[in-house]
Each structure stands twice: as C-alpha cells, then as structure tokens.
C-alpha cells in the first residue's frame, strides 16, 4: 500500500490507521475516488502477493488451528481470495474450507456480512462463533454480526462486553475439548518474571 500511495501522491500516514482490515477497493475509493478502485485494488493486491516471502504466522497460530477440524473454523478476510490464500501459504498456515473474502461479499468490513457468511458456511449461528481480530474495523464487523471477539495485539482499542480478552499470540491459548465434543479456549495466565 505504501508503494501505491507514493505512486499516486497519497499520504500513506493518512490511510495507515483506517485501511487495516478494510477491503483494498474500499480504501482506494476513500483515498482516491478519481481512480478506478477495482483496477487499483488488483494492482495493490498483486504488489502485496509479490512481497510475501518474509511473512510469518502470528506465533502459535498454526499449532492452534491444527488442533481444530476443518469444519470448526473459517476465514473472514478483507483480502481477495487469491491474496488470502497466498498469505496463508507464505506463512505456512492451513487453508480453511470456509474462506469469505473481499471478492465474495457485497459489503466490506466493518459491515458484518463477512462474518455472517462465514458462520452460515460453518453451519452455526454467529453467536456461537469466536472471532480473532487485530483491528477496529474487523472487531466491529464481528461484533455487529453477533460474534464474540478475542483481540490480538494492541492495534484495536474497541471496548465491548462481547470482547472476551486480548492476547499477543496464539501460544497464549489452551484449547480444551470435552467428552461431548464441545470446546473451550483458556487464556494462559501471564506471569511477570524478574530475572
């Protein structure tokens, strides 16, 4: 996105807070309505796919997802399907059977459509879903859909009773499974060690 901003004489700093988790096409429309948003979004995502060689998973994410069956999780992303798959592959992450992307919804985040579609494809109500989000835009989308949210990192400062906690990485989570096939997630207790 930085390179695109430079090429089009747009201040990246004016976008950096607002474009995280928004569809690329929506960001282009907001920043440069005089350009063809669809064409520009395709260019930006192609640049993104070309720069993925150093992409890494959020610590513990692969291990966490590998404890779930493919029918128990999905992806609701603001990237196009091709870019989402390229990112997951570059980070050596599993690719879900349920992948709701920018090119499969009419309304991008913070609209709830992506999470509503993901829950529908998973065959559960949104209220039964836990969304992992690292942005305000994404958290608002999940919350409006009716999902509970677990925040990752410090970027999102949204406050809502359906936000169950905040983690820095997936390695802070324990996945608990019970005899009736139900599951629970436990956030490991953080300890401050003095060395």
CA distance 184 to 174: 8
Q: What is the pLDDT of residue 138?
A: 94
Confidence of residue 193 (pLDDT cuts 50, 70, 90): very low
CA distance 17 to 48: 18
Contacts with 72 (C-beta within 8 Å, 6 or more apart), sequence order: 122, 183
The answer to whether 152 and 58 are in contact (CB under 8 A) is yes
**Which string of DSSP letters, residue by residue, matches 62-89?**
HHHHHTS-GGG--EE-SS-HHHHHHHHH
| Confidence check: pLDDT of 19 > 70 | no
Q: What is the pLDDT of residue 24?
A: 77
Preceding amide of 189 cis, omega within 30: no
Q: What is the pLDDT of residue 194?
A: 46
pLDDT digits (tens, 9 = 90+) for 154-183: 888 889 999 999 999 999 999 998 888 888
| Confidence check: pLDDT of 131 > 90 | yes
Average pLDDT, the chain: 87
| Greater pLDDT, 11 or 102 | 102
Q: What is the pLDDT of residue 65?
A: 94
CA distance 11 to 89: 31
Q: How many CA atoms are closer than 13 Å to the CA of 41, on its beta-carbon side? A: 23
> In percent, how much of the chain has pLDDT > 90?
56
pLDDT digits (tens, 9 = 90+) for 29-86: 777 788 887 888 788 878 878 778 888 899 999 999 999 988 899 999 999 999 999 9
């Amino acid at each position: 996105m930085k390179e695109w901003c430079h090429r089009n004489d747009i201040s990246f700093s004016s976008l950096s807070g607002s474009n995280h988790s928004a569809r690329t096409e929506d960001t282009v429309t907001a920043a440069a309505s005089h350009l063809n948003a669809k064409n520009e979004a395709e260019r930006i995502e192609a640049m993104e796919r070309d720069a993925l060689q150093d992409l890494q998973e959020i610590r513990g994410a692969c291990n966490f997802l590998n404890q779930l069956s493919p029918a128990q999780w999905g992806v609701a992303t603001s990237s196009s399907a091709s870019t989402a798959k390229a990112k997951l592959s570059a980070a050596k992450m599993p690719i879900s059977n349920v992948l709701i992307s920018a090119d499969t919804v009419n309304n991008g985040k913070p609209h709830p459509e992506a999470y509503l579609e993901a829950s529908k494809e998973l065959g559960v109500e949104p209220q039964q879903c836990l969304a992992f989000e690292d942005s305000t835009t994404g958290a608002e989308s999940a919350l409006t859909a009716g999902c509970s949210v677990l925040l990752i990192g410090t970027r999102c400062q949204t406050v809502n009773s359906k936000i169950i906690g905040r983690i820095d990485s997936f390695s802070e989570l324990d996945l608990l499974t019970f005899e009736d096939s139900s599951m629970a997630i436990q956030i490991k207790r953080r300890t401050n060690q003095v060395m």
